[in-house]
Chain A
Amino acid sequence: MNGGNRNLWIGAVLTALFAGAALVSFLWVPYDVASLDIANKIKGPSASHPLGTDHFGRDILSMIMVGARTSIAVALVAVGIGMGIGVPLGLAAAARKGSLLDELIMRGNDLVFAFPSLLIAIMITAVFGASALNAIIAIGIFNIPVFARLTRSGALSLWTRDYVMAARVSGKGAARISFEHILPNVMNLLIVQGTIQFSLGILAEAGLSYVGLGAQPPIPSWGRMLADSQTMISFAPHMALFPGLAILLTVLGLNLMGDGLRDLFDPKLRRARR
């Protein structure tokens, strides 16, 4: 098995593990995350609580399983927003290259890039208050220019191809060509970037909920768990260790999967990278 394939497999297994934990948590969790058990608070890992309990006696494994839902949902919807808006913009910009529309889209992209998702989240929160929805919007907005630029640059090289020329000669309009001929051919690029943005979204969501700009209690989220654990890290390091590991492994899995997919889709790149 070559390196690309190995990355893909390790990444897919890690991703499936956390996605699976999130799905299972809808049906079953070891302990209810809403009920407090103060008698068992801040216990290290044991047979009854494999990852220990937090300062309210809640089971950390259960919290991580339910928290995976929040992370995955926020990051996934944010990628959806980025793709849903960014890809059509990128296609339009490429189809009308050099036009005012192209210039407007590209300058708009530059502008959004000047607002890191944390700043967007800060502005939204300052006006509307903190919530998981605001985290989704903030991360989603930042994803738009990423996909718009990628789609545009991928599409530009395709517009010069013979089969696109043939489609134009046969009388197809720019919009139809974009969706029938260009989009399917930039799909690989989009899938790879989508995986990367998904992992960045998980990191961003964790950061936002860590500083209190994301999901609010009682919704469990990995970033929130880390924020809660911070003052207790000297005597309860397990409270900080496991949620952090969950983030690290999920992001690592998605990144490895993204790398593996890129190698799979682009064998030329694979040779160059080795």
Chain B
Amino acid sequence: MLRYFLKRLLSLGLSLIVASAVIFLALEVVPGDPAAYMLGINAQEDTLAALREELGLNGSVWGRYVSWVGGMLTGDFGTSYTYRTPVAEMIGERLWISLPLALYALTLSTVIAFPAGIWAASKRGSAVDVSVMGVTQLGVAIPNFWFAMLMVLVFAINLRWFSAGGFVGWDAGFFAALKSLTLPTVALALPQASILARVMRSSLLDTLSEDFIRTARAKGLSKRQALWRHALRNALIPVLTIIGLQFSFLLAGAIIIENVFFLPGLGRLVFQSISARDLIVVESVVMLLVLAVIVVNFAVDMAYAVVDPRLRGRR
């Protein structure tokens, strides 16, 4: 187990190094002179020189990369050119919206998908199964930002149960804050829950047709007992894979959903920075999101090993 863990950890480190190099190349080397890019064509030569100095653009590419990575490791993400505040601070504030949003959505999607998938699989071919499959087919096809807009129309504008957008802040109390994240979360979670429920169902059906389930039934377990005691654990592997993959979709989806609800999270920050040509902020936010995806996938790999010891040995 330790060997497996170390091997995965090494590959995690390598992925992070390569990913950071790709991001650095794309945003600091490809544009040529980032200072000229950020200031536009009418910039004065002395302003350009000052910005180059401020951004540390006068060093070699290699030196700049090392100092960028080194800075991030110590929590220094540089200073935003447009806002004149440390990027780490800006990200920190917005993370308190984006991260709870993604986690809330992941929880909701799992809480809906597991029972739905298990229920559909255990009553295969019944009306329940057909309805779960029909609803999830729609859920997979619906664009989440459109679904979000429809929810705003129904629950915020017509019924007035929720506000149409904005975030009250965690200072307003935990439940008030959670409430203002609820519509965005449902919009993010339902399409993902549909995918997860379908994977749960088909994985469980595959497992239920295996020989060891027949053996379990033969030794006297009821269908229900066989499902809960033997099939479920074995059916979880593909489900975990999808949960891991979904995290990156949730993060990306959150960026779009934040725009529907005017939530001041990382997504809003990144779009504002793109229009302000603030490459330093874009670079840091992208790196942070990629880091999150890579670390979550590492965690999923570890979870596999716990669920299925056979996987520890092989790639």
Query: Which of A's residues lie within 8 Å of B, judged by CB?
Result: 107, 110-111, 113-119, 122-127, 199, 203, 206-207, 210-212, 223, 226, 229-230, 233-234, 237, 240, 243-244, 247-249, 251-252, 255-256, 272-274
- B271 contacts which of A111, A119, A211, A233 (Cβ < 8 Å)? A211
- B234 interface residue (CB < 8 Å to A): no
Tell me whether A119 and B149 are in contact (CB under 8 A): no
27 residue pairs bridging A and B, Cβ less than 8 Å apart? A110-B11, A110-B15, A111-B22, A113-B245, A114-B248, A115-B293, A116-B248, A119-B290, A122-B255, A126-B27, A126-B279, A127-B279, A199-B141, A206-B143, A206-B145, A226-B149, A230-B260, A233-B149, A233-B157, A237-B153, A244-B143, A244-B149, A247-B146, A248-B143, A248-B146, A249-B141, A272-B209
Q: Knowing that A114-B19, A226-B149 touch, tell me 16 more A-B residue pairs with CB under 8 angstroms.
A: A111-B22, A114-B293, A118-B252, A122-B270, A123-B282, A127-B26, A127-B30, A203-B143, A206-B143, A234-B157, A244-B146, A244-B149, A247-B146, A248-B141, A255-B137, A256-B137
Collect the chain B residues with CB atoms within 8 Å of residue A226's CB: 143, 145-146, 149
Chain B residues with CB below 8 A from A107, complex form: 11, 14-15
Chain B residues closer than 8 Å to A272, beta-carbon distance: 205-206, 209
Complexed CA–CA distance, A238 and B279 (Å): 38
A-B interface, 4 closest residue pairs, ranked by CB to CB distance from nearest: A244-B146, A116-B252, A252-B141, A251-B141
Task: Tell me which residues across on chain A come within 8 A of B206, comparing CB atoms.
Answer: 272
CB-nearest residue of chain A relative to B34?
Answer: A127
**Which of B138, B256, B293 is most buried by chain A, counting CB atoms within 10 A of its CB?**
B256
Q: Which residue of A lies closest to B287 (CB)?
A: A119
Q: Which residues of A contact B270 (CB under 8 A)?
A: 122
Contacts of A116 in B (CB 8 A): 248-249, 251-252, 289, 293
Contacts of A114 in B (CB 8 A): 15, 19, 248, 290, 293-294, 297
For the complex, give the distance between the alpha carbons of A244 and B270 in Å. 25
Name the residue on B nearest A108 (C-beta): B18
- B79 proximal to A (CB < 8 A): no
Query: In the complex, are the beta carbons of B152 and A233 less than 8 A apart?
Result: yes
B286–A210 contact, CB under 8 A?
no
Given contacts A248-B143, A273-B205, is CB(A230)–CB(B290) below 8 Å?
no
Tell me which of A127, A243, A256 contacts B27 (CB under 8 A): A127
Collect the chain A residues with CB atoms within 8 Å of residue B15's CB. 107, 110-111, 114
A126 near B290 (CB under 8 angstroms)? no
Instruction: Mark contacts of B220-235 with chain A using CB atoms, 8 A cut-off: 1 yes-contact digit, 0 otherwise.
Output: 0000000000000000
Complex Cα distance, B143 from A124, in Å, reads 23
Cα A273 to Cα B282 with chains together (Å): 45
Find chain B residues with CB under 8 A from A251 CB: 140-143
Instruction: Tell me, in angstroms, the Cα distance from A124 to B273 when the chains sit together.
Output: 13
Contact partner of A118 among B146, B256, B282, CB < 8 A?
A: B256
Does A240 lie within 8 Å of B30, measured CB to CB?
A: no
Docked pose: A212 CA to B267 CA in angstroms = 13
Q: How far is the CB of A156 from chain B (nearest CB, A)?
A: 13
Check if B137 sits within 8 Å of A252, measured CB to CB: yes
Contact A207 B282 (CB under 8 A): no
B31 at the binding interface (Cβ < 8 Å):
yes
Give per-residue flags for B145-172: 1 if the beta carbon is below 8 A from chain A beta carbons, else 0. Answer: 1100110110001000000000000000
Residues from chain A with a CB closer than 8 A to the CB of B252 are: 116-119
In the assembled complex, B309 has its CB within 8 A of some CB on chain A: no
Q: Which of B138, B255, B279 contacts A211 (CB 8 A)?
A: B255
- Which residue of chain B lies nearest to A98 when distances are taken between CB atoms in the complex? B315
Nearest Cβ on chain A to B31's Cβ, whole angstroms: 5
Give complex CA distance A111, B157 in Å. 43
Within the complex, the shortest CB–CB distance from A212 to chain B, in Å, comes to: 7
Q: Which chain B positions have C-beta within 8 A of A207? A: 143-145, 256
Which residues of chain A are within 8 angstroms of B11 by Cβ–Cβ distance? 107, 110
* Residues on B with beta carbons closer than 8 Å to the beta carbon of A212: 271
- Decide if A115 touches B290 in the complex (CB within 8 Å): yes
Could you tell me the distance in whole angstroms from the C-beta of B290 to the nearest C-beta in chain A? Answer: 5
Indicate whether B122 reaches chain A with its CB closer than 8 angstroms: no
Query: Does B182 sit at the interface, judged by CB under 8 A?
Result: no
Closest to A274 in B: B125
B61 part of interface (Cβ distance < 8 Å)? no
**Interfacial chain B residues near A256, Cβ < 8 Å:** 137
B274 lies within 8 A of chain A by Cβ: yes
